[in-house]
Structure 1
Amino acid sequence: MKPLTRPAAIDRLSRHRLLALSAQERADHLLNVWTLAPEAPEFATLSASLGEEMQTREPPENAEPARYDALILVSLRAAYHGVSNPYLSRCLAEAGYPRQPVEGPVETLLACPCCGYLTLGAHGEYEICGLCHWEDDGCQALDVLSGPNHKTLAQAREHFAQIQGSLPLDKWPPIIKDHP
């Protein structure tokens, strides 16, 4: 079967998910991206009237109108940023699409200090790893208590080792080789 491009796969999955969102989920996604900067590349994909509304008004109480679909899709697509192509292929199959390979460059992410998977956009900015849920506070010391995580990095790594069998390890590019 002909491979699907990465952007096409992400778009297909996002549109599929859009149709299944509850009113509350639509509102949550809309709120997540309402403050999207006009300089962001995704902003250019929105209608002029929606862009103006975002810049001059508070988020709407009712996220149901279809006019917000394009903005909600921005949020849904962001959930696939940096995930592996095999994971996208598996998600498409689980959504009922024919299984086909996904090709294209994966966005560059940084290794999580806890699990080592490529899940973070920046280090030390309190991003939360989507795999092990470590909040990266910038501390790399194994035996120092991390305030946001309420445990040391060594304890978190031990916990990850115990639960990794139940996690979607194919979601992000593989673990870096030199990571414990």
Structure 2
Amino acid sequence: METLTATVAIDLLSAHRLPGLDAAARASHLLNWWGIDSDDLEFAALPPYLQQQLISQPEPPADTQDPRYDALLLIALRAEYRGVTHLYLRRCLREAGLGDYIVSPGFEHREACPCCGYLTLGAHGEYEICGLCHWEDDGSQALDVLSGPNHKTLAQAREHFARHQDHLPLDKWPHISKDHP
């Protein structure tokens, strides 16, 4: 069985998914990523014409089907796999019909979400949204204080996560401990 690095597996999966994006999905990804700027590492990988358009045009284009935006869409698709486990990548490759590979575990530093305890966040308190439980990390660790962006307390969010975790991809990200919800 062939071995792939996590980066190669993510590139394969992203390239495989790109042609299947419908207009609404393409528009959503472009809207979410149109704010990328020259300070972002991924920006340098974009073609010069797209870099210029991102700098000069404040809003995403109306014609989201244009293949000239595929490079930015690939960045968006790759980002969905940040911090995922090598076992999750292996399963995704198999389910996508791309083959059965061994995926070597990569290391990408991630922080634990205060709600679900999975390593999904790039940094604490940066208002990043957890890809698993959808908690927006405002930096608060208090259980009974209302979180403005989440419209509920951390305790309420943990309770909600516990009730719905049977329907979530718990193998996608590493978990910090068995004691955390």
Q: Same fold (TM over 0.5)?
A: yes
Provide the alpha-carbon RMSD of the alignment.
1.8
2:34–2:60 contact (8 Å) kept in structure 1? yes
53-62 or 85-94, larger mean C-alpha shift: 53-62
40-49 or 113-122, larger mean C-alpha shift: 40-49
Q: Which amino acid aligns with 2:115?
A: C
The gaps in structure 2 that reach 5 residues or longer are none
1:47-66 alignment to 2 at 5 Å?
A: 47-57=47-57, 58-66=59-67
Query: Alpha-carbon deviations, 1:112-151, whole Å to 9, x = none?
Result: 1111111112222222211122222222122223233333
Q: What is the TM-score of this pair, normalised by structure 1?
A: 0.90
* Displacement of 1:18: 0.4
- What is the alpha-carbon distance in structure 2 between the residues aligned to residue 85 and residue 10 of structure 1? 10
Aligned to 2:6: 6
Aligned residues: 180
* Displacement of 1:2: 1.6
1:137–1:148 contact (8 Å) kept in structure 2? yes
Task: Give secondary structure in 1 for the equivalent of 2:120.
Answer: strand
Q: Which amino acid aligns with 2:46?
A: L
Q: Which amino acid aligns with 2:29?
A: H
Q: What is the TM-score of this pair, normalised by structure 2?
A: 0.90
* Displacement of 1:178: 5.6
Question: Percentage identity across aligned positions?
Answer: 63
73-82 or 22-31, larger mean C-alpha shift: 22-31
Q: Which amino acid aligns with 2:145?
A: V
Aligned to 1:40: 40
Query: Alpha-carbon deviations, 1:69-110, whole Å to 9, x = none?
Result: 111111111111111111111111111121212114232111
Aligned to 2:119: 118
* Displacement of 1:66: 1.5
- What is the alpha-carbon distance in structure 1 between the residues aligned to residue 9 and residue 146 of structure 2? 41
2:113–2:121 contact (8 Å) kept in structure 1? yes
2:26–2:64 contact (8 Å) kept in structure 1? yes
Q: Which amino acid aligns with 1:9?
A: A
Query: Alpha-carbon deviations, 1:42-83, whole Å to 9, x = none?
Result: 222222122112212242210212221111111111111111
1:111–1:176 contact (8 Å) kept in structure 2? no
11-20 or 148-157, larger mean C-alpha shift: 148-157
Aligned to 2:155: 154
Task: Give secondary structure in 2 for the equivalent of 1:27.
Answer: helix
- What is the alpha-carbon distance in structure 2 between the residues aligned to residue 113 and residue 14 of structure 1? 28
Aligned to 2:73: 72
Aligned to 1:89: 90
